Chain A
Amino acid sequence: MDKILRVDMGAEGGPKFRTEPVGEFAGLGGRAMTTAIISREVHPLCHPLGAENKLVIAPGSLSGTAAAMSGRISVGCKSPLTGGIKESNAGGQAAQVLARLGYAAIVLEGKPAGDDLYKIFINKDGVEISVDNSLKNLPNYPLIEKLRGQHSDRAAYMTIGTAGEMKLLAASIACTDPEKRPTRHCGRGGTGAVMGAKRVKAIILDDTGLKMRAPKDPEKFRDANRRFVEGLRKHPITGEGLPAYGTNVLTNVLNEAGGYPTNNFRTGRFENAAKISGEVQAELEVKRGGVATHGCHRGCVIQCSGIYHDKDGKYVTKQPEYETVWAHGGNCGIDDLDVIARLDFLDDNFGVDTMDTGAAVGVAMEAGLIPFGDGAGAIRLVEEIGKGTPLGRILGCGAAVTGKVFGVERVPVCKGQAMAAYDPRSVMGIGVTYATSTQGADHTAGYSVGPNILKSGGDLNPLKPEGQVEMSRNLQIATAAVDSTGMCLFIAFPLLDQPETFQALLDMIGAFHGIPLTGDDVTALGKSILKMERDFNTRAGFTKHDDRLPRFFLNEPIPPHNVTFQVKDEDLDKVFNW
Chain B
Amino acid sequence: MRITVKLFATFRKGRFDAEVREVPPGTTVSNVVDELRLPGSIGILFVNSRHADLSRELSEGDTLSIFPLVGGG
Contact = CB atoms under 8 A, between A and B. Distances in A.
A244 B65 contact: no
Contacts of B65: 256
A462 B70 CA distance: 17
Contacts of A248: 72
Nearest to B45: A455
Contacts of B50: 463, 561
A236 B69 contact: yes
B44 A237 contact: no
A321 B73 CA distance: 8
A279 B46 contact: no
B14 interface: no
Give the size category of A's interface with B. Answer: 35 or more
Nearest to B63: A256
Given A322-B72, A454-B69, A455-B51, A249 B9 contact: yes
Interface in B1-35: 6, 8-10, 12, 17
A247 B9 contact: no
A277 B68 CA distance: 15
A463 B46 CA distance: 13
B44 A241 contact: no
Interface in B42-70: 43-44, 46, 49-51, 65, 67-70
Interface residues of B, number: 22
Contact of B43 (A236, A278, A322): A236
Nearest to A456: B71
B49 A493 contact: no
A322 B73 CA distance: 6
Contacts of B67: 252-253, 256
A450 interface: yes
A269 B50 CA distance: 13
Contacts of A461: 51
20 contacts: A236-B43, A237-B71, A241-B68, A242-B70, A242-B71, A246-B72, A249-B8, A249-B9, A249-B71, A250-B70, A256-B49, A257-B49, A322-B73, A443-B73, A450-B71, A454-B44, A455-B43, A456-B69, A463-B50, A490-B71
Interface of A: 235-237, 240-242, 244-250, 252-253, 256-258, 269, 274, 278-279, 304, 321-323, 420, 443-444, 447, 449-450, 453-456, 461-463, 489-490, 493, 560-561
